[in-house]
Amino acid sequence: MRVSEPFDLDLTVRSHGWYDLPPWRYDVERRVLGRPLLLPGGRTAYAEVAEGQGGLAFRAFAEGRLGGEEARAAQAALRHCLALDDDLSGFYARAAALEARRAVGEGKDLPDLRWALARGAGRLLRSPTVFEDAVKTLCTTNCSWGLTRAMVTRLCDALGAAAPLGTRAFPTPAAMAAMPERFYREGIRAGYRAPFLGALARDVASGALDLEALRASTESTDALARRLRTLAGFGPYATEHLLRLLGRHDHLALDSWTRPKLAALRGRRRVPTDRALRRWYAPYGPFAGLAMWLEVTADWHGERPAWP
């Protein structure tokens, strides 16, 4: 698979915590990323990528021989998940210009993103569908990462289609829509999220909500944000987090983890106001949220990586 240079598979995979949630599997030592996928026609396959000569090596497994169209669909899905075709040139140009200012003492609140420029950081791992990203985003709200992982694991185990290598795909909207609210409360133990998960699945399964169309939308980020805020359970954080996975980085998606960490990174005794934080990254314009995220996660990718 063709990649842009510089490209670091581990950097993209561990860009945030999705790789640690089913149905993703990541072998850190071998640098192999894989997951089950639902293919056109209804079959499932298990597809994976690994670092190779001049790009990424790809392979897929299925019950019986994979057709050419199926193999191409699986490869296209992983290309999308790794954001391989996203154009980040605008971000790199702006970051380089701002780094030049920071190097001569201008812009005292600008983040140090030299590491990101050198390694080509900025691609964020995402799901094959916006629906999966939306469900997982709901499962990150107001809880620990351990609880997020537990909820997503239960969803896949209970409703995901069987796939090769003993795996299960992420549930379809139809599979989730067929379940009552009690299932999400008692089976998934989703707490207050239970009605939101069911409502989201029903709206997508019925066709009343076309989340996948958001990928190609030409609407402004603020217009998309207003649409997402109408979804049950999507407050400011969930909305801005999903926008980030859609490649919209105008907003910061601040939460109870990023705020204090930014304060610690900048040596502040108190957590700055959200207004102050937005001011720090305002010079990045439409890439403000990406600049913030790369600063707050830089220690994940150093000589001694920190676990997300």
Cα–Cα dist 180/184, whole Å: 7
255 closest CA partner among 67, 16, 95, 11: 16
- The pLDDT score that the predictor gives to residue 167 is 97
pTM: 0.95
The C-alpha atoms of residue 275 and residue 164 are separated, in whole angstroms, by: 48
For the chain, give the percent of residues with pLDDT over 90: 89
Do the beta carbons of residue 243 and residue 251 sit within 8 Å?
yes
- Residue-wise pLDDT for 199-240, tens only, equals 999 999 999 999 999 999 999 999 999 999 999 999 999 999
Q: Token pair of 127, please? A: 């799901």
Do 73 and 91 touch, CB atoms closer than 8 A?
no
Q: How far apart are CA 12 and CA 16, in angstroms?
A: 8
Structural domain spans, the chain: 9-81, 87-117+250-308, 130-245
CATH number of 130-245: 1.10.340.30
Band (pLDDT 50/70/90 cuts) for residue 308 is low
Q: Do 25 and 36 form a contact (C-beta atoms < 8 A)?
A: no
Say which residue the tokens 């993103």 belong to.
113
The CA distance from 134 to 33, in Å, is 21
